[in-house]
Amino acid sequence: MITNMNIREILKQKLGCKDEDFDRPMPVPAPWSMPFWDAARKRKLVLKKCTCCGHIDHPPYLYCTSCSEEECEWIEASGKATLYAYAVNVYGVPFAFMEDLPYVLALVDLPEGPRMISNIVGCDPKDLKNGMELKVVFDDVSPEITLPKWKPVSK
């Protein structure tokens, strides 16, 4: 049986990878996205709402993707979503993610409006269905960063 540890050892031997090649790429928060990451660390999913036109954006950028204004407020999301479309990565991923294979990437639709790229966890990829209901879960990938991910709602 291949364990995670020996995948890494095999790659190091065969391809000359170094330990740092396995370091996960972490988000580097921008001044305007910091409230999102601060909230995620506290296990809250928040969304940026434009105070000029009311548009809710995710990802939260400096500007509103609807009216280009900068003024905004943060609202707490319901934590619910539906699965719009997905992919299952099984091969040819950056080294940092090889130990996670297979893993699911998805376009997830929030009832608040935004569509989000994220992972679906806690589910056999074979059981995924377009339109299925999801709820947010939080993955502490480092002391500073918590990634919101999604999990099917069990019936």
**Where does this chain bind other proteins (CB under 8 A)?**
15, 17, 21, 24-30, 33, 58-59, 65, 84-97, 100, 102-103, 105-107, 114-119, 125, 130, 141, 145, 147, 149
Least CB distance to other proteins at residue 109 (A): 9
Least CB distance to other proteins at residue 6 (A): 18
Least CB distance to other proteins at residue 76 (A): 19
CB 79, CB 111: distance < 8 Å? no
Token match 């019936």: residue? 155
Report phi then psi at 115, rounded to 5: -110, 140
Give residues with Cβ within 8 angstroms of 83, minimum separation 6.
106, 107, 108, 109, 120, 128, 129, 130, 131, 132, 134, 150, 152
Report phi then psi at 9, rounded to 5: -65, -40
Nearest 5 degrees, angle CA 70-CA 71-CA 77? Answer: 105
Least CB distance to other proteins at residue 102 (A): 8
How does strand 103-109 pair with strand 80-89?
antiparallel
